[in-house]
Amino acid sequence: MARGAHEGTTGGDGTAGQSAGKQDAITMPKNFYDKLSDMDLLRRAWHLARDDSRTDFMFDSFRFSDFGFHLDEYLQSISQSLQNESYHPSTLLTIDVPKSSLSVRPGSIMNIEDKIVLFAIACLIAPPLDKKLPPNVYSWRVKNDRRRLFHDHEILKFPFLKRRTVHRRMNIVEPWYTAWPRFIKDVEVAYEREGYKYMVVSDIVSYFENIDLHLLRDLLLHNLPRQPKIINFLINPLEYWAWPTVYNSPIYRGIPQGNGVSSFLGNYYLLPLDQAFLKFSKGKDIKYLRYMDDVKVLAKDPAIAREALFLMNDKLRELRLNIQGSKTRILEGKAIRQELFDDRLDKVNEIIEEIQKKRSLSTAERNKYVDDLKDILKKVKGKRSIIKDKELRLFRRLITGFTLLQHSGMVDLVLTQLEKNPDARLLNSAVRYFRVQERNLRKISNRLLKILTSREPLFPYQQAHFFMMMRYVRDIPTEVWKEARRILRLKSSHWYVRQQAAQLLSIKPLSKQELGNIQKLFNAEKHLEVRKALCHALAQLADDECVEFTRRLVFSTEPSLQKIGRFYHGLLFDENKGLEQIEAIFRQDREDILLDSVHQVEVLSKANHRVVQQELLKRLRKIKRRIKRRVLIQRIERIISSLEQENNGATKG
C-alpha cells in the first residue's frame, strides 16, 4: 500500500487519462479529500444522511431537528475539522436486531456528523467507481446526469427538504424502487425468453459482518490509485467501528449495517466476483445479474450451472466470504419462477404505486383499493403461525398499502404476528401502520400492553418498538405509564428501550412533582441518549424553569446536549426561527406529526416574542377540533390555556 506507487498510476479515478471538460473539472477534483470540506457538498450529504436515517435500526430522539436548526454552523464546524485534519469518528450506538424468534444480527447507528462525512465521501468516489461496475450490476448505480453532483446551490440552503426532492435532486444514485424491478425484469427475460432454464441460488453468510476492511481498502486503492488520502480516511472509521475479539483485539472485519454508505461499499466489495463472471461468460453461455449480495446466475446447461456455483464459491472465499450451504441450490424449470416471481406481490406493488401517484382518492377509489388488497391478504400463507421469508415480504408490503389508505383492515393480523414474530422489518412496518390508525386504538393498546407485561422474554429491540407504537394509540392504559416509568428507572434495561420509555412518558401531561422526579432522573442518568430523550418531558417545565434548563443545556460539556439547548434557545428567543418552526410543525396538518413535535410546541408556547405565541395559539385552536388522541388533547388544551392567560395578561398590561 505504498503511497508513491498508488499516486504514480495514471487514470482509474476520473482525474487522468481522459479529456475532461470544464464540468468534469468541477465534479471530479484531482484530490477528492480537498473537495470533502466543500460546504455545498456537506449540505447535500446532510440531506442524504437525514433521509437515510428514516430507515435506521434506531432513531434519534430529536430526529436531528436540533442539528438542522443551526445547520450551517454545524456543517462549518465539520468542514473546518476536515480541513485541519482533526476530524475523529464517534462511537457507534449498538443493539441486536431480531431476524427470527431465536436469532439476531448486529445493528448500529452512527451519529449524524459521521453519517454526513461518509455520504460526502460516497458522493465523491461513487462516479469514478461506477465506471468499473459492469452493466449487469443493478444496485447503487450512479444516475446518468451526474453533472448535477455539485449543482442545485439554491435548494441546498434549505435545512429540511421533502423526501421526494432529496431522491430526485440530491441523491446521485438510482433509487432502489427503479433499480430492483429492472433487475427482476431482466432475470425474467433471461429465463422466459432467452432459454436459460437453470439458475444458481445461494446466500452469503453474514455478508456485512464479514467484509474484510484490508481487502476493501486494497480494492478501492486499486481502482482509485490517485486518491489514497480519502480512501484511508474512509477506512479509518470503519476500522475504529469494527467489532473486536473477546480479548479486545482488533480484527478489521465488518462494516455497520443498515445505512446507505455501507450498502454502497458492500456493493462495490463484490466487484471481483463481477469481474470473474464477466470473464467466465466469454467462454460459457450464462447470464450473470446482481443486486447487492443477491446474485443470480442462469445457464442453459446444468453442468455449466455447477461450474458457475464452484466459481462463485471460490471467488467469495477469496473475499473472505462464504456461501450458506443450506440455501445453495440449482433450480430448474418452474422452480425458478416460484423462486423469482410472485404475482400477488406484483399486484400489491402496482396498487401502492397508483396510490402514491394520486394527490387524493375518492371514496370509491379507496374502497376499490382496500377490496383488492384484502383479496391478496387472503392468499398470504402461514397467517396462523409465523409468517416467514417471501410471505413476510408480501405481508409487509400489504401493511404499506393499508397504511397509505389509513385503513384498519390488517390490525388484528399485525397484532397476532407481533405476538409471535420479532422480525425487525415487521416491527418497523407496524409502527408506521399504527401511527395512522383512528379506529381499534384501544384494542391495539391492550394487545401491546399484554405483550409488554407478559413473562415471555422480549428482545430489547422488540420492547423499544412496542413503547414506540404506544405513543400513537388513542387511549393509553394506566398500566402502560407504570411500565414505562419502571423501565426508565431500570438501569439494566437496554438504553434504547429506556429512551423509548422516556419519549412515551414525555407526551403525558406531567405534574410538577412528576417533572421534579424526571429532573432528578436526568441529573443522575449516565447514558446520553436517555438524557436527550428526557429533554422532551422537561420542555413542560414552567416558563422560568424551562429557560434555566435551556441555559444549562447550552453550557453543558456534552456537545449533543448543547445542540438541544441551542435548539430550545432558538425556539424561545429567535422570532424568525420560532415562526419558521411553527410553519414546519403545522404544514401537513397531521395529528401524528404534532404528537412527535409536542415538546417543541411546549417550548414555543414560552417564547419571548408575542407574535410567536399568537401564531402558535391560532394554529393550535385550528387543529384542536380534529385531534382524536386523548393524551394529545389534554396537552394541547393545557398549552392553549397557558397561551390565553399570557395573551390576556399582555392585553390588560
In DSSP notation, 443-499 reads HHHHHHHHHHTSSS---HHHHHHHHHHHTTSSS--HHHHHHHHHHHH-TTS-HHHHH
Q: H-helix or E-strand containing 410?
A: none
Average model confidence (pLDDT) across the chain: 90
* pLDDT score of 633 more than 60: yes
Last residue of a domain, one of 315, 337, 359: 337
582 has pLDDT over 90: yes
For the ranges 172-186, 258-272, 563-577, the lowest mean pLDDT is seen at 172-186
**pLDDT score, position 23:** 37
Do residues 65 and 210 both lie within one domain?
Answer: no
Q: Which of 286, 313, 337 is the last residue of a domain?
A: 337
Whether 124 and 27 have beta carbons less than 8 Å apart is answered as no
Q: Are 192 and 165 part of one and the same domain?
A: no
Question: Residue 439 to residues 409, 473, 538, 592: CA-CA distances in angstroms?
Answer: 10, 9, 31, 14
Split into its structural domains, the chain has a count of: 3
pLDDT by residue (tens digit) across 1-10? 333 333 333 3
Exposed, middle or buried by CB within 10 Å (0-12, 13-18, 19+), for 484?
buried
Residue 148 has pLDDT above 70, yes or no: no
- pLDDT-derived band at 11 (thresholds 50, 70, 90) equals very low
Q: How far is CA 602 from CA 59, 275, 338, 594, in A?
A: 21, 58, 54, 11
Range among 101-115, 143-157, 541-555 with highest mean pLDDT value: 541-555
Residue 227, Cβ density class (10 Å: 0-12 exposed, 13-18 middle, ≥19 buried): buried
**Is there a single domain that holds both residue 62 and residue 206?**
no
Whole-angstrom distance, CA of residue 163 vs CA of residue 180: 19
The DSSP call for residue 143 is P
CA distance 215 to 316: 12
- pLDDT at residue 308, as a whole number: 96
Q: What is the mean pLDDT of residues 542-560?
A: 97
One domain, residues 61 and 169: yes
Q: Which of 555, 642, 641, 636 is nearest to 591 (CA)?
A: 636
pLDDT score of 169: 83
- Are both 196 and 114 inside the same structural domain? no
- In the predicted model, is pLDDT for residue 652 greater than 60? no
> Within a domain: residue 487?
no
Question: How far, in Å, CA of 410 to CA of 580, rounded?
Answer: 38
Q: What is the pLDDT of residue 234?
A: 97
138 in the same domain as 250? no
What mean pLDDT comes out for the span 590-615?
95
CA distances from 633 to 1, 442, 581, 638 (A): 63, 16, 21, 9
- Per-position DSSP letters for 209-249, written without gaps between them: GG-BHHHHHHHHHHHSTT-HHHHHHHHHHHHHHSPP-TTS-
pLDDT at 251: 87
DSSP code, position 91 = P
Within a domain: 39: yes
Contact indicator for 256, 108 with CB cutoff of 8 Å: yes
- Side-chain-side CA neighbours of 114 within 13 Å: the count stands at 21
Instruction: Identify the pLDDT of residue 442.
Output: 79
Considering only residues 327 and 411, tell me which one the structure prediction assigns the higher pLDDT. 411
Q: Give residue 221's pLDDT.
A: 97
Q: What's the one-letter identity of residue 198?
A: Y
Assigned domain for 592 exists: yes
Is the pLDDT assigned to residue 641 strictly greater than 90? yes
- 153 pLDDT band, cuts 50/70/90, is low
Q: Do 186 and 327 lie in a common domain?
A: yes
**Is residue 9 domain-resident?**
no
Nearest to 536 by CA among 486, 602, 487: 602
Buried b (16+ CB within 10 A) or exposed e, 22-48: eebeebbbeebbebbbbebbbbbbbbb
Q: Which three cell numbers stand for residue 362?
A: 375518492
Q: Which of 397, 381, 289, 274 is nearest to 338 (CA)?
A: 381
Between strands 294-299 and 286-291, the pairing is antiparallel
Is the predicted pLDDT of residue 17 greater than 50, yes or no?
no
Q: Is residue 286 part of a domain?
A: yes
- Long-range pairs of 448-452 with CB within 8 A, sequence gap ≥ 24: 448/415, 448/418, 448/473, 449/477, 449/479, 449/480, 449/483, 451/418, 451/419, 452/480, 452/483
> Can you tell me the mean pLDDT for 319-337?
91
Q: Which amino acid is at 345?
A: L
Residues 206 and 291 in one domain: yes
Cα–Cα dist 580/453, whole Å: 42
User: Does any domain span residue 308?
Assistant: yes
Host domain of residue 190? 179-221+239-337
293 and 163 co-located in one domain: no
pLDDT of residue 635: 96
Q: Is residue 309 located within the same domain as residue 212?
A: yes
Whole-number Cα distances in Å, 405 to 204, 360, 361, 368, 588: 37, 10, 9, 11, 17
Element (H, E) at 206: none
Residue-level pLDDT at 21: 38
> Can you give the pLDDT at residue 4?
37
CA distance 541 to 517: 12
Tell me if 205 is assigned to some domain. yes
Choose one of 337, 362, 382: the last residue of a domain. Answer: 337
CATH of the domain at 208: 3.30.70
* Pick from 634, 641, 652, 583: nearest CA to 611: 583
Average pLDDT over every residue of 88-101: 91
If DSSP codes are grouped into helix, strand and coil, which group holds residue 398? helix
**For strand 329-332 and strand 198-201, is the pairing parallel, antiparallel, or unpaired?**
antiparallel
The residue-averaged pLDDT of 40-55 equals 94
Closest CA to 496 of 134, 46, 16, 109: 109
Residues 578 and 627 in one domain: yes
Look at residue 29 in the predicted model and tell me its pLDDT. 60
Lowest mean pLDDT across 14-18, 214-218, 320-324, 369-373: 14-18
- Of the two residues 10 and 219, the one the predictor is more confident about is 219
Q: How far apart are CA 579 and CA 615, in angstroms?
A: 8
**650 has a pLDDT exceeding 80:** no
Find the mean pLDDT for residues 597-611: 96
Read off the C-alpha cell for 478: 394506566
Average pLDDT score over residue span 302-318: 96
Residue 440, pLDDT above cutoff 80: no
Give pLDDT tens digits for 174-214: 988 889 999 999 999 999 999 999 999 988 999 999 999 99
Q: Cβ(165)–Cβ(152) under 8 Å? A: no
* Sign, CA torsion 491/493/496/500: negative
Residue 59, pLDDT above cutoff 80: yes
| Same domain flag for 157 and 100 | yes
Domain-embedded: residue 311: yes
